Amino acid sequence: MNILTTRSYKGESDWCAIANLIDACETVDRLGEEVSASELKLVLDAPKLDKARDVQLWEDGNYKLIGLALLDMPDSQDEIDACLWFYVHPNLRGEGLETEIVKWGEKRLGEVGKQRNLPAKLRTYNRDDRTDGMLLLEKQGFAVDRYFLTMARSLAEPIPAPEFPADFALTHVSGEKDIQPWVEMFNQSFIDHWNHHDLTAETVRYWMQDENYQPELDLIAVSGDRRFAAFCDCQIKPQKNHRSDTKDGWIELLGTRRDFRKMGLGKAMLLAGLHTLKAAGANTAKLSVDADSLTGATKLYQSVGFRPMETWLSWAKAV
């Protein structure tokens, strides 16, 4: 394998090459909208990301981008649970670059672990039909510790009307004034979930700058005393190489604040989200769910017509 150089991410000047690399991977891997180029760009340009040290690019002898790796390390006081996202051009796979990328991720995470004096774990994700990726991760000492499902539901099928408890109103995010209460609601909703890291207002404010963000699809249930109680963040992601008569909508986030659970708000918000996506022109609704969740989320989704499409594996290794 003839690699000319490895280097850090330079920002906007690299984006065309990165988009081309992702397109090449999507064509072969059928990655779909779970890992859209626009979402990756949002992560790459996040204010807290150390672009000089936590992103690495690999180029061949013709200065063509053939590999990209990103190490995402959420803030934590107990353990660094970092996620390694990486792409290798289909024409260069199996020649050692994947191993080099994983080694880079381990080395960088090890440095951060020593700096913070915290134990560190490197994590990455692989679809269960990508046997080459699974063999690579097994050889590098990774083991599966979690399963996730991508589920889908046709919006052409009847959608039951959402039934909200008395004194609850359905609305959507409306600008800066809603950010802090939304963040508090999110953190209280997911504090007891696997691998939760508290969100900050700064992060949510950055998300809202994304060109694909639509506040009218970011639904909230508000209680009679004006508390944010539950949420359903819907998105319609840009699609390429699809028929013009198909349009996928996504249930990106769904949650209920702990002190408002067992009231039917989760199902009501989910159904409201499906109606909202259909009204926005989507034909299909998709979502990703932790198959091992203790909240019964998978059963909730199945009860309104969602069915599994793909299984994703979470692989982890102590560094």
**Domain spans of the chain?**
3-141, 151-312
- The pLDDT value recorded for residue 23 is 87
- The pLDDT value recorded for residue 18 is 92
- The pLDDT value recorded for residue 82 is 95
Residue 66, classed as helix, strand or coil, is strand
Angstrom distances, CA of residue 31 to CA of 7, 28, 89:
26, 8, 14
3-141 and 151-312, same CATH topology: yes
237-238-241-243 Cα dihedral, nearest 10 degrees: 70
- The pLDDT value recorded for residue 110 is 96
Give the global pTM: 0.89
Angstrom distances, CA of residue 256 to CA of 205, 223, 304:
21, 12, 17
Domain 151-312 has CATH 3.40.630.30: yes
What is the distance between the alpha carbons of residues 171 and 232, in angstroms, rounded to a whole number? 10
Going by C-alpha positions, the residue among 266, 273, 268 that lies closest to residue 293 is 266
Q: What residue has token string 């009847």?
A: 158
Residue 235, classed as helix, strand or coil, is strand
Angstrom distances, CA of residue 224 to CA of 59, 176, 178:
57, 21, 16
Superfamily of domain 3-141: Gcn5-related N-acetyltransferase (GNAT) (3.40.630.30)
Radius of gyration of the chain (CA): 20
- The pLDDT value recorded for residue 39 is 74
Q: CA 141: distance to chain centroid?
A: 24
The alpha helices in the chain, defined as continuous H runs, are 15-29, 37-44, 97-116, 131-139, 179-190, 201-207, 265-279, 297-303
Q: Which residues of the chain have pLDDT under 70?
A: 1-3, 31-38, 238-246, 294
